[in-house]
Amino acid sequence: MAASNAEIAELFDRYADLLEIQDANPFRVRAYRNAARVVGSSSRSMAELVAEGRDLDELPGIGEDLAAKIETIVRTGALPQLAQLEAKVPRALSDLMKLPGLGPKRVKLLYRELGIRSFEDLKRAIRSGALQALPGFGAKTAARILAGLERQGTTPQRFKLADAEQVAAPLLACLNAIQGIKTVTIAGSFRRRRDTVGDLDIVVTAKQGTPVMQRFVSYDAVTEVLLQGSTRASVRLRNGMQVDLRLMPEVSYGAALYYFTGSKAHNIAVRKIAVARGLKINEYGVYRGKTRIAGRSEDEIFASVGLPYIPPELRENRGEIEAARAGRLPKLVRLQDIRGDLHAHTTASDGHDSLEAMASAARSLGYAYLAITDHSRQVRIAHGLDPKRLRAQFAAIDRLNATFRDFRLLKSAEVDVLDDGRLDLPDAVLAEMDVVLAAVHYRLDLPADKQTTRVLKALDNRHVQILAHPTTRLINQRPEFAAHLEKVFAAAAERGVALEINAHPDRLDLDDIHARAAHAAGCKLVVSTDAHSTVGLADMRYGVDQARRAWLSAGDVLNTFPIERLQQELRH
């Protein structure tokens, strides 16, 4: 199997890490970081583009040199320049940079002064006190790094949902191409649309004699066959993900799909209901004694225990069974309910596409509106806009809007919340915007009380309408900041500030649990992509997934409304 987008992006990011440790030209480092973002966020597989003979240098920020490297990785699964660099700089230093409190400068210092080349080296340096003796490393920093190291050792590897999709898509295509296959469905946390996926569980039905297992274990991304039988196989892929496949008879398909979708807690709760009715549920069906009474479809499974169908996203034993019994299951929001996107960037800051291109892409999705939310001036690395540049952009938006009949670009900005809670732009500029997003991007290490006070002060600004990526987390990279979220939710509800479910695959922030808590607190919510390119607008589905897991209906998400009602619902 050709390298996935996620694998290509990971190689570019690792190369950029090691270049940065080497004090390489910052423009060169930035080029590889940008390439990782572009490839990782692309809705098109680089392998497909290469197979089609497309010119990869047409991608934003990708020149001939990077395009050639992408093609090399697609064809070989490796980046030769990275191997050469790893011969000079230990590969593990890139992993160290992912720990809290460590960046390229600090990792380079640890390597040069203490000879630290691995997690174990770092643990020893902390425990011996050698780390704390270095300039810039105090006891608090050492404690934070050690906590990150402990998490590394205890947390099972989980993959971002979008990365799991990139792995799953070609595997599904391979299985579906086998003559005799009838159905191929991924179950597990992937089907429940959790923000991260530990492994893939695949349920297959096929005609008798179909070589499912042989084709599965010989799939070209498989590096290890863990188990192989006539109806069950388990493999490990080259990215470390485990994939389990179950070949089931059609009469058991619904039961197997239900059973392997989970969650475990949900399944146990439903099995208790079945036992009370004298029934037994397993992956082959629902049984009364030895007689199978259901199993062909999931609807049959639920009906056998007196329940209506419960969508996979809700199957976490968080009240869905009780709600189903009482007829109170929500009608969950759908992707097709979304009328517009309220968080998108252009080349004016750190986006990859122009104002015109973003508008065209949004219109092609059937949207009625798109908010252009380039960064404010505080985010210098993203070329944030000052009032003069913003007003020039507003004038350009006015000119474009004059050409539209059924669509509108909204004047906006992702306005930084300064460390004292003030906003990065004057109120006079904020008053000119259609939508004002406030966002925290730096000083994420403030204590919880100070961080909470900071956010609450920002919400007090009468112009703020949406709090973007409210917990600031980056999946598998950075935990949410320390803040009293219950106070933030209460303040947002009181002031009428909407909270964002950020659909960017790296964020999904708010997550499902926080989004449900925010809704319960009376908060308004929006689902937006934080798109930095036209292809990034397609990430909306990941945010909708989290909204569904949070039990949200279309009426709970403001950007399912027409523009007129949206403007009424947003705080003024």
- Mean predicted confidence (pLDDT) in 181-193: 98
Question: For residue 379, what pLDDT is reported?
Answer: 74
Average pLDDT, the chain: 92
Query: Is-contact 213 185, C-beta < 8 A?
Result: no
Question: For residue 100, what pLDDT is reported?
Answer: 74
* pLDDT bracket for residue 437 (50, 70, 90): very high
* pLDDT bracket for residue 149 (50, 70, 90): confident
- CATH architecture, range 5-154: Orthogonal Bundle (1.10)
Question: For residue 155, what pLDDT is reported?
Answer: 53
- Mean predicted confidence (pLDDT) in 395-419: 97
Question: For residue 367, what pLDDT is reported?
Answer: 98
* pLDDT bracket for residue 214 (50, 70, 90): very high
Question: For residue 153, what pLDDT is reported?
Answer: 57
pLDDT score of 303 more than 80:
yes
What CATH number was assigned to the domain covering residues 159-247? 3.30.460.10
- Mean predicted confidence (pLDDT) in 432-439: 97
pTM > 0.95: no
Question: For residue 456, what pLDDT is reported?
Answer: 98
Q: What is the pLDDT of residues 304-351, one digit of tens each?
A: 999 999 999 999 999 999 999 999 999 999 999 999 999 999 999 989
Only one residue has tokens 């009328």, namely 339
Q: Where in the chain is the domain with CATH 3.30.460.10?
A: 159-247
Rounded-to-10 torsion of CA 426, 427, 431, 432 = -10
Exposure b/e, 71-81, CB count within 10 A at least 16 = b: ebbbeebebee
Question: For residue 78, what pLDDT is reported?
Answer: 87
Q: What is the pLDDT of residues 251-286, one digit of tens each?
A: 999 999 999 999 999 999 999 999 999 999 999 999
pLDDT score of 561 more than 70:
yes
Q: Where in the chain is the domain with CATH 3.20.20.140?
A: 335-569
Q: What is the pLDDT of residues 484-539, one digit of tens each?
A: 999 999 999 999 999 999 999 999 999 999 999 999 999 999 999 999 999 999 99
Question: For residue 522, what pLDDT is reported?
Answer: 97
Question: For residue 21, what pLDDT is reported?
Answer: 84
Q: Where in the chain is the domain with CATH 1.10.150.110?
A: 5-154
- Mean predicted confidence (pLDDT) in 356-361: 97
Question: For residue 156, what pLDDT is reported?
Answer: 60
pLDDT score of 154 more than 70:
no
Question: For residue 493, what pLDDT is reported?
Answer: 97
pLDDT score of 382 more than 80:
no
* pLDDT bracket for residue 213 (50, 70, 90): very high
- Mean predicted confidence (pLDDT) in 445-473: 96
- Alpha helix locations (H) across 277-413? 298-304, 320-325, 355-364, 387-401
Residue 487 tokens read as: 């106070």
Q: What is the pLDDT of residues 128-140, one digit of tens each?
A: 999 988 888 888 8
* pLDDT bracket for residue 152 (50, 70, 90): low
Q: Which residues pair with 557 in a beta bridge?
A: 525
**Percent of the chain predicted with pLDDT > 90:** 72
Integer Cα distance of 93 and 218 in angstroms: 34
- DSSP class of residue 451? H
Q: Where in the chain is the domain with CATH 3.30.210.10?
A: 253-325
In CATH terms, the superfamily for domain 253-325 is: DNA polymerase, thumb domain (3.30.210.10)
Q: What is the pLDDT of residues 70-116, one digit of tens each?
A: 999 988 888 999 888 888 877 778 788 878 778 778 888 888 889 88
Residue 403 class from Cβ within 10 Å (0-12 exposed, 13-18 middle, 19+ buried)?
Answer: exposed
335-569: which CATH number, 3.20.20.140, 3.20.20.100, 3.60.110.10, 1.10.260.40?
A: 3.20.20.140
Residue 4 tokens read as: 């996935």
pLDDT score of 242 more than 80:
yes
Number of H helices, E strands in the chain: 24, 17
Between 52-66, 162-176, 177-191, the lowest mean confidence (pLDDT) is in 52-66
* pLDDT bracket for residue 51 (50, 70, 90): confident
